[in-house]
Structure 1
């Protein structure tokens, strides 16, 4: 190889080196830009995650607030109906007492009429039969309420029994409820701080 060829080789190598150095520099700059973009995207991602967490928390709080409002509304409506029912039952008890007094008044009036005119053998006027249906419905409703209350009391008492053996004395459909209630009571007692 002669001098010119070697010099040309050197020049070619130098040109290739400069191009490679330029590519390295361009790549380094591009990597810096990408790193800046990456950092920016990571920051945006973190902000988005925080916003998502905040919105999820807000959504959960809103659902809880809505459930609380629903509970309050349902409770108020229940209490209103209970108050109305109590007033209606008081009125019914009063009216039933009045019915007894009015029945006695009819019998007494009939007896006075019979005493004044013994030959007129008229029967005591019949009472309208409109009370029987509502009375039977009332009896059924009260019985149902009392049965539910009794079952709830039995389940609770059996669940709270010292060894839980009282649960076995319950009818089958109440045993399951009592067992679940006992487990719930046990969980509560475990969670309760000493």
Structure 2
């Protein structure tokens, strides 16, 4: 298990644009998609390859292709905002969906929708959500994915905080975590500071 903060000037610049209160939903979504694409390079660094025979316009040679199916699992609804950017670079990826909401009394995540893909047991599975705050939703989503038989799982977020990272590490020590930022504070309302605000509302222009 590893925890990786992916640092790059382009990611830092786009994340700063997203943090701004006056950033439009359109610009927020576009920057989120672009950061997702930039993060792909690090997330897939250890994906297995297989050797294949190919013919170029000049001669025959050996090449390498990804040797494992890829499944993306956005946590609905904010996770949908990161999925498109990742899928642009991995167009063969299948997409499963997990919908969770927080119970107002217990504050625990509750599943309201879950749809898996075929062959998830043998796939390279990436669970995505822009925010890793308390860690409850991320941990629950990974529980569901493991219940489907997923074994090779990574969690990818844009902004995280120490409390959420520790919960995910404690609950799922076999899952690698990737983030673009580790922010300092989780406030008493469950929002990361400085954070992004409510990512779902900002992606879809809702209140």
TM-score between both structures, scaled by the size of structure 1: 0.17
Say which one has the larger Rg: 1
TM-score between both structures, scaled by the size of structure 2: 0.16
Question: Relative CO higher for 1 or 2, CA cutoff 8 Å, sep ≥ 6?
Answer: 2
